[in-house]
């Protein structure tokens, strides 16, 4: 980080070198006439556990890589607070997440299109933007790979548009590597067979618009290593470009906003705390907030952009009253059922001895395979919580292991875990500052299970889990429900139980959501420009008006790809 001059001007300032920020830095610096500053509060991604897939166990809850947030006490969780991991390093959450490549369902984007009144968010329009940066292990096809992008997309726009040059280069292959997992487990194969016996079809690809089915997840890895967005989009391209500057361990304290004589408000730069001094950076073009569904609303509120009453409560001068900032928080809440098994290998037994751990380490060292190459979840399933549901509304993450919580020791007995989440929760929460100090964490209140609909889905999904496990395919392993326990049967008992044992799956979205001009709670328009503040966009999961039906990392990359197009075209 350069600190020789504490007042510097750039064309674009990107706040947050996470999933969206890294891609945007890559695309915007492709125009050599534009100077781009990328600001990251965390350190570089040179911690070895970031890159070993199983290292998420050592990154979550680690101040080197995690913001260490906690939720407020949640009534839906019977008063519990949850750890709320958010990536704090180059790559952001892509450096600590589950590495699962998932687009969601076609209907998600149709709903976005309806909410924003902009057909640019329909499935047919967003699909090419998933593919533009994708490097799929199966190669290019109608569904995958940068080489398979329609030619007309690469030629749209004026001839001198720098975005077109970037996109033509993508034909040589995308940056975002997608691979199949490098291990299988008999107990997971049996669960997949049981799911099919329970009426869930087999699936070889969850990413074709309808993800109903059961199968192994695809992951963002390359040859057994985690593939985060810093590797994909910053190295080697951005680091070699003279118009790119990166500041790490640098936390934005507030945005700078000027009000002109004609009343127009414009974001002109940022103030940044380096740990020893406060720097000012100015933007001739745009400031782009990519700090995530927690960080972006916090920065906006600290800068006087947000609900006026909240800002006044904490002594922050109101720059622009925007009531939706920090509201509409949505997340996927997973309910973890644990089943003891017999006569089959699980990680609990493999890792129960020094010798077993040594063999696991040796396999990874020699082959880049085995348990150390594991994503947190290997097998997935999408189905309906009840026959009344018109589409798949629950997702399973199935693991050949069990523990009380992430960071806790594995259980001493062989077991598997079937975690199930409600893909389309109706509960809504918020993110709100607790003081005018940028050092202080915001209050995060997801309000899980706060609606009758969500409580019913929770109860029904536990019954679906039991129905799958009761199928003949798993019978040889004599599964025994250890958690939650068969004594819980009624809707009320199961919903209360979900509040006792459920935990976040780390997919917060919606806190700076996009919407129509007449929507008073919309924070950004359909091109992700902050309403009422020129020169300012938000590009991260916070802009999703409703959560996608699956893991949220890849949809965030798609949105960043779209935003790069608009920014470079001045739209």
| Cα angle 438-557-238, degrees, rounded to a multiple of 5 | 80
Contacting residues for 285 by C-beta, under 8 A, at least 6 apart: 11, 12, 34, 535, 567
**What is the number of residues in the chain?**
571
Q: Where are the beta strands (DSSP E) in 157-250?
A: 176-180, 213-216, 218-219, 221-222, 225-226, 244-247
Name 85's Cβ contacts closer than 8 Å, sequence gap at least 6.
Answer: 60, 61, 66, 67, 69, 93, 96, 506
Q: What is the 3-state secondary structure (H, E, C) of 411-477?
A: CCCCEEEEEEEECCCCCCEEEECCCCCCCCCCEEECCCCCCHHHHHHHHHHHHHHHHHHCCHHHHHH
Phi-psi region of 444 (alpha: psi -120 to 50; beta: other; left: phi over 0): beta
| Rama region for 99: left / alpha / beta (φ>0; ψ in -120 to 50; rest) | left
CA dihedral 376, 212, 459, 455 (to 10 degrees): 90
Spatial CB neighbours of 485, under 8 Å, sequence gap ≥ 6: none
Q: What is the DSSP letter of 410?
A: B
Separation between Cα atoms, residue 566 and residue 539, nearest integer Å: 12
E runs forming strands in 129-250: 134-136, 176-180, 213-216, 218-219, 221-222, 225-226, 244-247
446: phi > 0 → left, psi -120 to 50 → alpha, else beta; which?
alpha
Q: Which residues pair with 320 in a beta bridge?
A: 305
d(CA 136, CA 203): 17
Burial track 204-232 (b if 16+ CB lie within 10 A, e otherwise): eebbebebbbbbbbbbbbbebebbbbbbb
Ramachandran area for residue 203 (φ above 0: left; ψ -120 to 50: alpha; else beta): beta
**Pairing mode of beta strands 225-226, 221-222:** antiparallel
Instruction: Compute the distance between CA of residue 19 and CA of residue 560 in angstroms, rounded to an integer.
Output: 8
d(CA 278, CA 261): 28
41 DSSP assignment: S
Let me know: does 319 contact 257? Beta carbons within 8 Å. Answer: yes
Closest CA to 88 of 291, 357, 389, 370: 291
User: Which residue reads 């519990």 in tokens?
Assistant: 80
> Which residues belong to the active site?
507
CA 236 to CA 238: how far, in whole Å? Answer: 6
Secondary element (H or E) of residue 338: strand 333-340
């Amino acid at each position: 980080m350069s600190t020789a001059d504490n007042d510097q001007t750039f064309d674009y300032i990107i706040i947050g070198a996470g999933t969206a920020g890294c891609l945007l830095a890559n695309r915007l610096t492709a125009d050599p006439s534009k100077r781009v500053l990328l600001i990251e509060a965390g350190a570089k991604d040179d911690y070895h556990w970031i890159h070993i897939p199983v290292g998420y166990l050592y990154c979550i809850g680690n101040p080197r890589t995690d913001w260490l947030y906690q939720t407020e006490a949640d009534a839906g969780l019977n008063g519990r607070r949850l750890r709320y991991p958010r990536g704090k390093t180059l790559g952001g959450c892509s450096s600590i997440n589950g590495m699962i490549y998932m687009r969601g369902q076609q209907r998600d984007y149709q709903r976005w299109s309806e909410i924003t009144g902009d057909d640019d968010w329909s499935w047919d329009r967003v699909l090419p933007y998933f593919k533009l940066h994708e490097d799929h292990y199966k190669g290019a096809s109608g569904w995958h790979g940068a080489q398979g992008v329609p030619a007309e997309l690469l030629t749209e726009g004026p001839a001198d548009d720098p975005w077109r040059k970037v996109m033509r280069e993508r034909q040589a292959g995308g940056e975002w590597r997608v691979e199949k997992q490098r291990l299988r487990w008999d107990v997971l194969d049996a669960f997949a067979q049981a799911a099919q016996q329970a009426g869930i079809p087999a699936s070889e690809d969850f990413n074709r618009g309808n993800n109903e089915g059961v199968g192994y997840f695809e992951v963002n890895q390359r040859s057994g290593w985690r593939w985060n967005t810093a590797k994909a989009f910053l190295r080697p391209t951005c680091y070699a470009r003279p118009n790119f500057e990166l500041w790490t361990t640098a936390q934005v304290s507030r945005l700078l906003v000027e009000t002109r004589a004609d009343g127009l408000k414009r974001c002109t730069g940022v103030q940044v705390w380096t740990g020893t001094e406060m720097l000012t950076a100015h933007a001739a073009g745009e400031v782009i907030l990519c700090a995530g569904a927690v960080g972006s609303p916090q920065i906006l509120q600290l800068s006087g952009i947000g609900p006026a009453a909240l800002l006044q409560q904490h002594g922050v001068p109101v720059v622009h009253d925007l009531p939706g900032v920090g509201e509409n928080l949505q997340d996927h809440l997973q309910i973890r059922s644990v089943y003891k098994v017999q006569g089959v290998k699980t990680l609990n037994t493999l890792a129960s001895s020094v010798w077993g751990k040594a063999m696991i380490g040796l396999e990874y060292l020699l082959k880049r395979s085995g348990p150390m190459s594991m994503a947190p979840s290997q097998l997935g399933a999408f189905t309906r919580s009840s026959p009344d549901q018109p589409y798949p509304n629950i997702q399973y993450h199935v693991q050949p292991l069990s523990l009380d919580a992430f960071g806790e020791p594995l259980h001493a007995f062989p077991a598997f875990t079937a975690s199930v989440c409600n893909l389309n929760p109706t509960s809504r929460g918020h993110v709100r500052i607790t003081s005018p100090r940028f050092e202080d964490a915001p209050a995060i209140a997801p309000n899980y299970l706060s609606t009758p609909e969500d409580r019913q889905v929770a109860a029904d999904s536990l019954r679906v889990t039991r129905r799958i496990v009761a199928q003949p395919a798993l019978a040889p392993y004599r599964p025994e429900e250890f958690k939650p326990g068969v004594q819980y049967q009624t809707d009320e008992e199961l919903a209360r139980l979900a509040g006792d044992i459920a935990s976040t799956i780390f997919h917060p979205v919606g806190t700076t959501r996009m919407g129509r001009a007449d929507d008073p709670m919309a924070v950004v328009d359909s091109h992700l420009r902050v309403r009422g503040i020129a020169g300012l966009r938000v590009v991260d999961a916070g802009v999703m008006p409703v959560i996608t039906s699956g893991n949220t990392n890849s949809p965030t990359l798609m949105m960043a790809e779209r935003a790069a197009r608009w920014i470079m075209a001045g739209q």
